[in-house]
Amino acid sequence: MASDELSEIVEKLRDLLQGLSPEELQATRARSLRKDPTRIPGSQSFVSTLAYGDLILDSEQAVHCEAVPGVWGFVAADQIKSARTGQPQLDLSLILTHFYANEPSILIQQRHDKPNTGTLVGSVQVQTESLLPATVQLAQQVILVFQGRALSSREPVLLTAEHVAEYPPVGATFVLASPVDLYRFEQLGDLGAPHRAALTAWRVVVTGELRLQP
């Protein structure tokens, strides 16, 4: 490429950047950082979310949850592993899960006495640069409080997002793998206790990155 053509491109890009507001410039820079896979290992991040889905009660009443606001917090492992398929894999830990809404009255938080983990699996070659795009799967143990009743599952709640192009995974949609039976929290140890509700058609949309001020 000739130097005059390159200079023209640079000039056009400079004009484009100067036309952006400070907020737009900040968002563009943040998006650029999220697309850099070398920044993922060892990182800590927080994201805002919206949850959608149905809670089927034991009375067969269906309670629809629409855009329940929430927050997730992640810590990524330092070391990249190799998945069985040869793809690069990075382990994740969830350090914060909090969803809350008044209507319906629902609160979801992770159980800190149980593991809340995840994996980020990138493309074919085993190198940091191949971590994105990725498939991210989360395995969570949560307590769901609905109208004052504390419910929990015996097995982890599995959520998966595919084609994740940024990390933290802003813009990704995590989908529940299959319906999850919920039991009264105090009856989790009673294997004969009936389930009291089921979580179905659940999905979580990651809407933004939350940056904590030092």
CA-CA distance, 161 to 53, in Å (whole number)?
A: 16
Residue-level pLDDT at 211: 83
Q: Does residue 208 or residue 85 have the better pLDDT?
A: 208
pTM, rounded to two decimals: 0.86
**CA 187 → CA 108, 114, 150, 151, distances in Å?**
18, 16, 10, 9
- Using only C-alpha atoms, the chain has a radius of gyration, in whole angstroms, of 21
pLDDT at 17 over 60: no
pLDDT level of residue 205 (50, 70, 90 thresholds): very high
Residue-level pLDDT at 129: 62
Closest of 150, 139, 160 to residue 197, by C-alpha: 150
**Does 19 have pLDDT greater than 90?**
no
Confidence grade of residue 11 (pLDDT, cut at 50, 70, 90): low
Find, among 115, 132, 129, the residue nearest to 168 by Cα: 132
Is the model's pLDDT at 7 over the cut of 80? no
Q: Whole-angstrom Cα distance, residue 148 to residue 105?
A: 8
| Structure confidence at residue 112 (pLDDT) | 92
Quote the pLDDT of residue 25. Answer: 61
Nearest to 198 by CA among 170, 171, 178: 178
Domain ranges across the chain: 35-210
The chain-wide mean pLDDT, for the chain, equals 88
Host H or E run for residue 17:
helix 3-18
Q: What is the pLDDT of residues 141-183, one digit of tens each?
A: 999 999 889 999 999 999 999 999 999 999 999 999 999 999 9
Lowest mean pLDDT among 9-13, 23-27, 91-95: 9-13
Q: Are 139 and 114 in contact (CB under 8 A)?
A: no
66-98 burial, b for 16+ CB within 10 Å, e for fewer?
eebebebbbbbbeebeeeeeebbbbebebebbe
Calculate mean pLDDT across residues 54-66.
Answer: 89
